[in-house]
Structure 1
Amino acid sequence: MLSGLTRLALEMARTFQAEAVAALASGDLDRAGTAETRFSTLFLAIRRAVALGLRRQREDAASPAMDQAAMLSELMELAEALARGFHALALAALAANDLDRAGEAETRFSSLFLGIRRAIALKIRLRQQREQAQREAELRRKARQDEKDGRRQAAAQGVAAAIAAVPDAEAQERLTADLREKLTEDERIDVDLADTALPIEALIASLCRALGLPPRGTPPAGSPAAAVKSGADDPGAGPKGERRRHSLATGDSGTGNSSRRRPGTTGRPPAPARPPRPSPILLRPRGPP
Structure 2
Amino acid sequence: MLSGLTRLALELARTFQAEAVAALAAGDLDRAGKTETRFSTLFLAIRRAIALQLRRRREEQAAASPAADEAAMLSELMALAEALARGFHALALAALKAGDLDRAGDAETRFSSLFLGIRRAIALKARLRQQREQAQREAELRRQTRQNEKDGRRQAVAQGVAAAIAAVPDAEAQERLTAELREKLTEDERIDVDLADTALPIEALIASLCRALGLPPGGIPPAGSPAAGKSGTGDPGAGPKGERRMHNLATGESSTGTGNSSRRRPGTTGRPPAPARPPRPHPILLRPRGPP
- TM-score class, shorter: 0.7 to 0.9
Between the aligned partners of 2:174 and 2:85, the Cα distance in structure 1 is 80
Aligned to 2:37: 37
Code of the aligned partner of 2:91: L
Aligned to 1:169: 171
Between the aligned partners of 1:169 and 1:64, the Cα distance in structure 2 is 59
- The Cα shift of 1:66 comes to 5.1
Matching of residue 52 in structure 1 with residue 52 in structure 2: yes
Matches within 5 A, 1:220-259: 220=247, 221-224=253-256, 244=267
- The Cα shift of 1:100 comes to 1.0
Between the aligned partners of 2:167 and 2:176, the Cα distance in structure 1 is 14
Query: Which string of whole-angstrom CA distances, capped at 9 and with x for unpartnered residues, describes residues 10-51 of structure 1?
Result: 111000000000000111111001100110011111111111
Which runs of structure 1 show a deviation greater than 3 angstroms over 4 or more consecutive aligned residues? 224-228
Aligned to 1:12: 12
Counterpart contact for 1:3–1:66, Cα < 8 Å: no
Aligned to 2:185: 183
Counterpart contact for 2:168–2:246, Cα < 8 Å: no
Code of the aligned partner of 1:223: S
Code of the aligned partner of 2:160: G
In the superposition, the TM-score normalised over structure 2's length comes to 0.74
Residue segments in structure 1 that go unaligned for 5+ positions in a row: 229-240, 249-289
Counterpart contact for 1:192–1:203, Cα < 8 Å: yes
Between the aligned partners of 2:64 and 2:72, the Cα distance in structure 1 is 20
Between the aligned partners of 2:189 and 2:76, the Cα distance in structure 1 is 46
CA separation of 1:119/1:173 partners in 2, compared to 1, >3 Å: closer, same or farther? same
Matching of residue 22 in structure 1 with residue 22 in structure 2: yes
* Larger Rg belongs to: 1
Q: 2:85 aligns with which of 63, 83, 86?
A: 83
Residue segments in structure 2 that go unaligned for 5+ positions in a row: 221-244, 248-252, 258-262, 271-292
Counterpart contact for 1:90–1:101, Cα < 8 Å: yes
Matching of residue 92 in structure 1 with residue 94 in structure 2: yes
Aligned to 1:146: 148
Code of the aligned partner of 2:54: L
- The Cα shift of 1:191 comes to 2.4
Between the aligned partners of 1:188 and 1:136, the Cα distance in structure 2 is 29
Query: Which string of whole-angstrom CA distances, capped at 9 and with x for unpartnered residues, describes residues 176-198 of structure 1?
Result: 11111111112223322222222
Code of the aligned partner of 2:36: E
Q: Please, what is the CA RMSD of the aligned residues?
A: 2.2
Query: Secondary structure at the residue paired with 1:67?
Result: helix
